[in-house]
Structure 1
Amino acid sequence: MQETIGDTTYNWNDVTSKFADLCRHLPTGEVVRDRDFSLFEAMTALELMDPKMDGGMSIKNHFQEQKQGNRILTLKQLIDKQLLKITKFTPMELMHLFDQLLSTFHMWLDGHSLALTLFTCVYLHDVTIIDDYYLRTICFTFIKLIDYIRERILLKAGLFEEEDFSGTLTYNFPFYRDIIKDQTCLIDLKKSEDELNKRLRSLKHEADLNQLDINSTQQLIYRMKFLRLFYSLTLKFNEANEKTGEQTYLNSEEILKYLKQIDEMLQLIRPSHVIEDDTVSILYFITI
């Protein structure tokens, strides 16, 4: 592929597919680096192809494209331009979204800002716009988890903002306390599991078996069950007596039962990037 920039013509070789194929052989969390590439060099390095860091991206030929790419669109504009789906998600797309949300949720628990973690997912900015039942259930549950952990655990534990922890700031994002109750998410998650199990049984009895659909639906069921169990476990940490209103003591056997079931689900869940599907290319998260 040839490209002319100024007076110079470049002959580019596309290594995307080869690079992606090699990345699939890396276990989750591992990186490849040169033996002489130190942490100091990593901290002082420039990120190529990032307009904020790579001066070469400001070349005249790329300026207009860069300007257009940096435009921030509202949710309504994203939907109108068909850059943001709100319905008819495939199990594969839901898996990718779930894994991204869980990853950013983990980062938030490590003390990073909500604005730079979970709320980089544009769907969490206004969950009510989502027509897809499964995604709406997932997003509402994560919203409730954020609100619950922040209000009933982080703030009550006496954590204060400091340099390495900014997990309690909400930036005026909505938490839908009047719309969604604690038990509503549990009911919706269980209903989602049941409907997905029916769909899975139907797929297995079709004459033209699609193994990718079967695998992705099964993996989505594992994720929904994991989320339901984790959410149920979280609720147990501030359960109150219905008559007196006083906080009840934790039942260690019940907690261990939940933890065991959660661990079983984690053993069954495969990372979504391992399951290949080139159709997932729609904007869901804001790049910071």
Structure 2
Amino acid sequence: MTADALADRLARAADRGRVPDLHGVVAVHRGEVVLEHYGEGEDFRLNEPLGHVRFTPDTLHDVRSVTKSVVGLLYGIALGEGRVPEPGEPLLRHFPEYPDLAGDPRRAALTVEHALTMTLGLEWNEDVPYTSPANSEIAMEFAPDRFRYILERPIVDEPGVRRSYSGGATALVARLVEKGTGSALEDYARTRLFEPLGIGRFEWTTGTDGRALAAAGLRLTPRDLLAIGRLVLERGAGIVPESWLETALSPHVRIDEDSCYGYQWYVGDSWTAAFGNGGQRIHVVPALDLVVAVTAGRYNLPDQSTAAVVVDEVVLAGIGG
């Protein structure tokens, strides 16, 4: 199907109200751009209103929890350099500033892999809005020490058994990267990932302590998201170790009947993806040589289907995938 035909499918979906608040989409199939579209609408930087924005290829956009998948890639790069602990190592061994927590045998059993897969078994709730301090991720940012806040949560499950969605788990992974490399997360990302991908401009929102928000703080363009997706499609592209990426993108814990979780990435039968609140997505289908990047403004709304419609009903249906 031609690019014009996919553009027509997207326009029809928009006319039917199927893709509300779509801000941008870029899709590459077999090395060719088959769809690129930019919209307009109200936008935010996390909870800060930015007003009405007309999006262009150069407009930075919150990617929200896609940030987590980027942190997963940074961990893999640092692991290849021997700068971070292996997934099987005890987690609290690398947080010696909390000896009281390490003295708890159940907490001492936590591994780096439990953070990578969000199976720490610690109490964590992100089911309430991200504007509420009852949300564990928001509470983490208000805590005097975000890492102690995460690691001292009550134990509610055996580690490794059940995935519980947790920005805190990603914050721990990011801190291991910072500890091991001696660099701020955004600086390490710039030199080891973004610049090699040709991403010269990005923003990473910081918390009150000045640290980059590892769970949701990145601002990138749809083309930048596409570059990250192509890195995954190209088995690390010489930037992320291929052997580690293969492990990271393997199913480690089941989420539901259609998807599993790897190391900070979602995995289906034929696809790999990164998802973010509001309709942010990187969607990779290796068998089709396809990458789709979507940005949207459905933040905190019950209907988060815009990206799914773009991927499934416009792109995949249009190319026969």
Give the shorter-chain TM-score range. Answer: under 0.3
More helix by share: 1
TM-score of the two chains, using structure 2 as the length reference: 0.24
Which structure dedicates a bigger proportion of its chain to strand? 2
* Structure having greater relative contact order (Cα 8 Å, sep ≥ 6): 2
